Amino acid sequence: MSSLLAQIPGRQRGGGAPRAGRRLPLQGQQLALVLLIAALAAGFASQAPEFLSVDSIENLLRSASMFGIVGLGMTVVIISCGSLGGIDLSVGSMMALGGAIGAGLLGTAFTAANPVKLPAALAMLMALLVTGLLGAVSGLLIARLKLAPFAVTLGMMSVARGLTYLMVAFAIGSSNTAGITFSDPLFDWFGLNNFGPIPSITVLFLVLAALIAFMLKATAFGRSLFVLGGNAENARLAGINVRRTIVIVFAISGLLAGLGGLILTGRLSSASPLAATGYELEVIMVAVIGGTSLSGGRGSIVGTVLAAILVSEIDTGLDMMNVPSFNQYLIKGTILVVAVVMDKVYQARSSRMLVQSA
Amino acid sequence: MVASSTPQPLLRMEGITKSYGSVQVLHGVELSVGRGEVLGLLGENGAGKSTLLNILNGVIQRDTGSIVIDGSPVEFTGPKQAQEAGLAFIHQELSVLPYLSVAENVFLNRLPRRKGAPWLVDWAACYRQAGEILERLAVKIHPRTLVGSLGTAEQELVEIAKALSMNARIITMDEPTASLTESEIERLFTLMRALKADGVSVIYVSHRLDEVAEICDRATILRDGKIVNTVDAQTTDSHALATMMVGRELSELFPKTEHERGRETLRVSNLSTVKVDDVSFTAHAGEVLGIAGLVGSGRTELVRAVFGADPITSGEVFVNGEAVTLDSPGTAIRHGIGLVPEDRKLQGAVLSMTNAHNITLAGLSKVSRWGQLDRGGEKQAAKRLIQDLQVTPSRIEQETGRLSGGNQQKVVLAKWLFAGSDILIVDEPTRGVDVGARAAIHGLLNDLAGQGTTIIMISSDLPEVMGMSDRILVMHEGRIAGELPRKDFSEEAIVMYASGLEPTTEGAKA
């Protein structure tokens, strides 16, 4: 059997260090992200020196935290359901819906036609409840009826957007795309408050990231997500309740999207039915650039956090350089496709090594 | 060394070397195949067989050495050139397309075109020509049948038909019998003899040594990337072959140990599913219960139902005397049942995860408290099991997908050892597993039975199921056709029951 040892790719590549075969690519990717963030910062700063101003960095952190929080949910969805084609396209609309519910149920809304007037905390809770439940509905359809996640969440994207319009109309008494404006201290905490130099939502983001990372790495539930992402039938035969897991995962994504929507609403001090349109692109970028494999079973929260910073940096930097928005779409779309290609290249490389060792 | 019987062999490979990075996997390999000869190529997993065959068939390029076909040297830059030179490669995992017809599969990429309109497919000619090839093979499959509706054995015949349609002169078959039953193997061998008579040569890879004597003319044994010997397959017994492959004396192939049969642990009463019809049986602590029968006879479906993986339509299952509702594998696992499935890659191990994570997969509650994992404890437990089962390489952080088949299977077994299963169901546990790992797995199953575990073993390999079991149930068309106690084991009795016949009394006693 000693001949087998000679066949293991990790050893072929001179991997004297343990774990060299498995861990290096991820670490390399995270290192690359850090370098890319630094290089882009230098690049943007050379074109627009105000990029490194306190205001700009604060703005960047707020945006990164918002996309990052929603991206945490996306990361969990793709890790666990990637083998089923798992993705959540509804996050942009869910953000809009969360914001509209949170603002629309407020007692402090300026456009005070809304019949329901709740304290801000309760309004926010309602928002999270609704988006979390809608996420669970997506999960239920995917798990029970074995529907493609892409199709279900595409439908949910439209349903949530429709509900957002209804919610805004309900709150201000007429359909008005301008949306709900309000002033509320709790929303300001989300949108404007700082802990020292760091925006409060950045702290919230890092706490949530740590929680999710702990869940993935150190709990039995987290482990079952990686198993499910590796192979769903396998997960079932290992005794994992696959249906329940899928429902929970999409509920988490919906809930975090709702939270992202509340943050967006706090930053803008208004909730528009058109809010967060197309934000699913940024959120999927955050997960994929962070190293989460679209085929499932692989991903890291550190990567997601770094990618959230990178994606927001690109957004902020391009804005500051006055790059027209259509060019921004072009650039961001290209970056996403490149990230997916890199994932494929990594997979092809590891499966080639499998063939050689067979 | 036995010299080739023909003065000029059809194929000669000389001095083939191949390295990946700093690791040399083939060291000057020599191999020759005569016209109309069946050459067995034997070796443990990792001995270099796949590399050698991939080089021959143009899939990968050699570093040095020469390949001579019919006296002229050839140079393949890809599989297409090799095909054009008359080589065909039938992989263990078949490459047929299930949603296409037999004829379309046979003529894939080379569909006959209409005269005068070469952009249109001449379907009439396509089905006619495919029909002719199938007829030549004496295969009764209609060329319009969807390949997905055929069994594995028939799909393999489609692959052979495809090879012949390309005028292949040298067909490489990588473990063609791995998923075939005895009668299907017989049929394949009949076909191979017909190919021989037509002057077609076959390079035949198998882990089943008894087959080598039956079908091969000579056998070449590869170990650690070197040719150990080339022997006359007819006069060399399988024990000698195994010793050459492993490089050491093997202890007896099936070290059956007798132990006390304990209390009843599993009782299945009148169980039916879509594929299983009114099956009842019992199993006991310390017993190895074999389940034989043809592929498709409902063996796999029966154990999947007992494991809660397939829905039970009627009947009852009792575990340790208690009636249980097996609605999911999770429930079965909580009742101490484990299943090592037939399809290791898709159902047994999560190939993208590490050995440690695979091993604790079905018993996470044992290394967690309030849902939080004790990762130190997990590593220790995994390390111990990897050592006990001699998984190589022994790193717990190794991705399971990078292990050989035999070692992957050991990891799957370790998973159930960790989960502490009292009733362990193994479905074709040694398929595609090399001789050394095979013996280790058999030894492990015996040890477990000795410790009071109930082992239920499905196997298409008659010597294996007879060597290992205390009792054998034979299935036929979803029912239990017969039950044999160890003293009445005979290949004939099993084959008769499996074919839906009553064995003659002499047969049962033979």
Read off the pLDDT of residues A212-236 as tens digits, 9 standing for 90 and up: 999 999 999 999 999 999 888 889 9
The residue of chain B with its CA nearest to that of A295 is B352
- Is A21 among the domain residues? no
B245-273: average pLDDT: 77
The answer to whether residue A238 neighbours chain B at the CB level (below 8 Å) is yes
Whether the pLDDT of residue B7 is over 80: the answer is: no
Sign of torsion over alpha carbons B154, B155, B159, B164: positive
Specify the CATH number for the domain of residue A218.
1.10.3470.10
Percent of chain B with pLDDT over 70: 95
Q: Which residues of A touch B330 (CB under 8 A)?
A: 239-241
DSSP B399: B
Q: B16 forms bridges with which residues in the sheet?
A: B29
pLDDT score recorded for residue B254: 64
Do B426 and B340 meet the contact criterion of CB atoms below 8 Å apart?
yes
- Is A320 among the domain residues? yes
A94-120: average pLDDT: 82
The answer to whether residue A357 neighbours chain B at the CB level (below 8 Å) is yes
- Is A157 among the domain residues? yes
- Is A323 among the domain residues? yes
Flag if B329 and A353 touch (Cβ within 8 Å).
Answer: no
Q: Which residues of B touch A241 (CB under 8 A)?
A: 328, 330
Residues B319-361: tens digit of each pLDDT: 999 999 999 999 999 999 999 988 777 678 888 889 999 999 8
What's the whole-number average pLDDT of chain B?
86
- Is A233 among the domain residues? yes
Instruction: Give the C-alpha separation, A32 to B173, whole Å.
Output: 45
* CA triple B509-B284-B494, angle to 5 deg: 30
Whether the pLDDT of residue A307 is over 60: the answer is: yes
The answer to whether residue B346 neighbours chain A at the CB level (below 8 Å) is yes
Instruction: Give the C-alpha separation, B398 to A350, whole Å.
Output: 13
Instruction: Give the C-alpha separation, B147 to B139, whole Å.
Output: 14
B373-392: average pLDDT: 89
Domain range for A344: 26-357
pLDDT score recorded for residue B43: 82
Rounded to 5 degrees, φ, ψ at A351 are -75, -30
In chain B, residues 186-225 whose CB comes closer than 8 Å to chain A: 223-225
Q: Which residues of A touch B341 (CB under 8 A)?
A: 237
Rounded to 5 degrees, φ, ψ at B295 are -60, 130
pLDDT score recorded for residue B286: 92
Token reading at A270: 């208004």
Answer with the residue of higher pLDDT: B285 or B238.
B285
Residues B148-160: tens digit of each pLDDT: 888 878 888 898 8
pLDDT score recorded for residue A113: 63
Flag if B392 and A12 touch (Cβ within 8 Å).
Answer: no
Residue to mutate among B402, B416, B418, with most A CBs inside 10 A, is B402
pLDDT score recorded for residue B220: 94
pLDDT score recorded for residue B1: 44
In chain B, residues 50-69 whose CB comes closer than 8 Å to chain A: 50
Percent of chain A with pLDDT over 70: 86
- Is A4 among the domain residues? no
pLDDT score recorded for residue A346: 76
The answer to whether residue B361 neighbours chain A at the CB level (below 8 Å) is yes
Residue to mutate among A80, A219, A237, with most B CBs inside 10 A, is A237
Instruction: Give the C-alpha separation, B315 to B306, whole Å.
Output: 11
Residues B433-478: tens digit of each pLDDT: 777 788 888 989 999 999 999 999 999 878 888 889 999 999 988 9
Its pTM stands at 0.74
Answer with the residue of higher pLDDT: B504 or B42.
B42
Answer with the residue of higher pLDDT: B15 or A230.
B15
B179-187: average pLDDT: 80
* CA triple B226-B230-B234, angle to 5 deg: 145
Residues A2-42: tens digit of each pLDDT: 333 333 333 333 333 333 344 444 467 788 889 999 999 99
Please give the tally of structural domains in chain A.
Answer: 1
Identity of the residue numbered A82: G
Query: DSSP letter string over A37-92?
Result: HHHHHHHHHHH-GGGGSHHHHHHHHHHHHHHHHHHHHHHHHHHHHGGGT---TTHH
B209-223: average pLDDT: 89
Instruction: Count CB-CB contacts under 10 A for residue B214.
Output: 13
B266-294: average pLDDT: 93
The answer to whether residue B376 neighbours chain A at the CB level (below 8 Å) is no
Residues A239-268: tens digit of each pLDDT: 999 999 999 999 999 999 999 999 999 999
In chain B, residues 403-462 whose CB comes closer than 8 Å to chain A: 403-404, 407, 415, 436-437
Of B216, B201, B218, B206, the C-alpha closest to B86 is B201
pLDDT score recorded for residue B496: 80
Residues A133-175: tens digit of each pLDDT: 999 999 999 999 999 999 999 999 999 999 999 998 888 877 6
User: B336: phi > 0 → left, psi -120 to 50 → alpha, else beta; which?
Assistant: left
Instruction: Give the C-alpha separation, A98 to A258, whole Å.
Output: 4
Compute CA distances B215 → A109, B7, B205, B218, whole Å. 86, 22, 11, 9
Helical segments of B87-122, H only: 102-106
pLDDT score recorded for residue A156: 97
pLDDT score recorded for residue B237: 82
The answer to whether residue B349 neighbours chain A at the CB level (below 8 Å) is yes
pLDDT score recorded for residue B4: 45
- Is A18 among the domain residues? no
pLDDT score recorded for residue A153: 97
What residues contact A4, with CB distance under 8 A and at least 6 apart? Answer: B45, B46, B392, B393, B403, B404, B407
Percent of chain B with pLDDT over 90: 45
The residue of chain B with its CA nearest to that of A227 is B350
- Is A269 among the domain residues? yes
